[in-house]
Amino acid sequence: MNFFEAQDAARRRTWRLVVLFLAAVLTLVLLTNLLVAVAGFFFLTPSVALAEPQGSLRYVLESTPPSRWAFISLGVIGVVTCASLYKYATLRGGGRAVAESFNGRLLTREQADLKQQRLLNVVEEMAIASGTPVPPVYLLPEAGINAFAAGFNVDDAVIGVNQGTIDTLNRDELQGVIAHEFSHILNGDMRLNVRILAILHGILFLGLVGRVLLRHGGRSSGTNSRNAGLPVLVMGIGLLAIGYGGTFFGNLVKAAVGRQREYLADASAVQFTRNPQGIAGALKKIGGYLSGSDTSNDNAQEASHFFFAPVAARFARFLFATHPPLPERIRAIDPGWDGTYPEVLPLAAPAAAQDMADPLLAGMVAGTTPADVATRIVERVGNPDEETLTRARHFVDLANTSLTRAAHDGYSAVALMYALLLSAEPTVREHQLATLSSHAPRGTREEVLRLADLVALVNPVQKPVYLDRAIPALKTLSGPQYQNFRQLVGELVNADASVDLFEWVLSLSLMKYLTPHYIKPPSGRVKFRSLELLANDLVLLLVSLAAACSRATAQCDELVHAGLTAAGLPTPRTLPPAPDFDAVNLIVVRLRSLHPLQKPRVLKAAVTVLIDDTQLSDLDAGLLHAMAGVLDCPLPPLPGTDHA
């Protein structure tokens, strides 16, 4: 899978969805106009209708004033649009809002049992291997084997899992399901899923109006009331038919889009884990399990296209199914399957030893030329594989236990982030600690110093991974706690006048991953379709990267020129000085809004500046991992010295 092409395809599918939505609304406008005109003609002017039985429809169309057509059309458009926007607004909380609408409960390490701990471990390993922040995990009180990923992008994504999934699947099968959901996260499917849900709600809303009218008309009594209520009943039946007719075609679109994406996600899960029997085993258990993949929540029924497997049996499944038939999915992964489903019984609670990782696979990023190294690294973006997954397991197993516990606890995770931002320069460090003493809760300074001693032993390439692991715990902060945390992070970063790019990128990553949770998800809109429009911004970014490498001025100039050449841009005669934090911040915000197919050029330029001959230092590898995440290009952690 090419990450950048998948992101571009997701955007193109969004535009097609908008066109289909407009076509559906236009159809609803025409049908509603006809319904109101016919109903008004027969019930308000029955004598005319009886007098001209042969030309009644023509009479309706010719006698209805244009102002009435315009009023009805604007009314339908307004109702459908407002209903869609309302639904979209209710989902602006991102993945968390979707999970909570399914009655999902946030899983925390402190409250998790052994099965839930295994689930959290698998999700964390997958996130580390794919180079994304660890998403919060929600548990749904459902017996069926199912799961979903929801959100607008990787920053606000969540993973939801049914209770039946962790009760019946072993670790390999669970890993296959979670890898499938991470494929949806990386492919950009989640935002499209939310938009489909909002659009279908708008189209369905006319049917809901019709249902209300039917209830109102059905309560009428007496001859006069019945006569007066008859037009209301007819309008109700008509709107119900129109609304559900629109939903009919909307579901066809949803099904067609969903089936192809499920095949792709299954294939990506196999590529990710290199274990086809994992996801195939999960699918076979769905077929043999009494509860199947059923999910009873009404909101889940409406959002069936979010899930790993169908949430319920449907009429005319061959038309409306958002997932391919189960046997076809299984045979696509396991061609030798004999067609029988296993008997499924609840699993015993796993022992701690069952969650040990496999030995680390060797594999350094290397090549014959810097350009070769840059190409290989860019190919890794959004493309986790067995090697990166094994390295992630290895990291989780060998990571410092105290730092791991800190990353999983809300209070200590805050202190850990402060510790990662502490400067090595004594004067600056003392100023930072004084700031914490004045503005952070009591005891924070001492906890930061304790964790800073442990952070000093961590390989630089692994520091951003601790940030990724701490994201779920940081998302449990209250609003005021987050605001205080955000302010202190800014003060720690700006404690010195020089640009420590690694420290700055870590802080920017924090704000990028937390802002969608506490404020609102970014629009994700492409503002610049060509890198040439941001050539000056890229020059400044490369100058900052070169300066952060502490190399001689002449060498920095040479590296920047090489980076611009790798990006296919001309090199200026003179290079500007390294900008300050605020300027670099604005630069990155603009580069994030580049078209997905332009971002590989930015990464190639950054790699070219950072590599020394054909190798990346641990510090530069960690910097590149964090920088790629800031640019919305999830890069699996690059190999470094294996100590934690």
Contact in structure between 242 and 35 (CB atoms under 8 Å): yes
Assign 438 to helix, strand or coil. Answer: helix
What is the distance between the alpha carbons of residues 295 and 234, in angstroms, rounded to a whole number? 35
DSSP 369-416: SHHHHHHHHHHHTT---HHHHHHHHHHHHHS-HHHHHHHTSHHHHHHH
What is the distance between the alpha carbons of residues 274 and 452, in angstroms, rounded to a whole number? 37
Burial string for 224-251 (b: 16+ CB within 10 Å, else e) reads eeeeebebbbbbbbbbbebbbbbbeebb
What is the distance between the alpha carbons of residues 397 and 447, in angstroms, rounded to a whole number? 23
Give 105's strand partners.
139
Choose the catalytic residue: 181, 262, 447, 503. 181
DSSP 260-273: HHHHHHHHHHHHHH
181 given a catalytic annotation: yes
What is the distance between the alpha carbons of residues 135 and 156, in angstroms, rounded to a whole number? 7
What is the distance between the alpha carbons of residues 90 and 635, in angstroms, rounded to a whole number? 31
Taking CA atoms, 374 is separated from 98, 132, 380, 558, 616, in Å, by 38, 20, 10, 17, 10
What is the distance between the alpha carbons of residues 243 and 374, in angstroms, rounded to a whole number? 53
Kindly give the pairing relationship between strand 147-150 and strand 158-162. antiparallel
What is the distance between the alpha carbons of residues 78 and 470, in angstroms, rounded to a whole number? 44
| Sheet-wide strand order for 147-150 | 105-106, 137-140, 158-162, 147-150
Give 140's strand partners.
162
Phi then psi for 184, rounded to 5 degrees? Answer: -65, -40
In the 3-class helix/strand/coil scheme, how is 82-150 assigned residue by residue?
HHHHHHHHHCCCCHHHHHHHCCCEECCCCCCCHHHHHHHHHHHHHHHHHCCCCCCEEEECCCCCCEEEE
Residues taking part in catalysis: 181
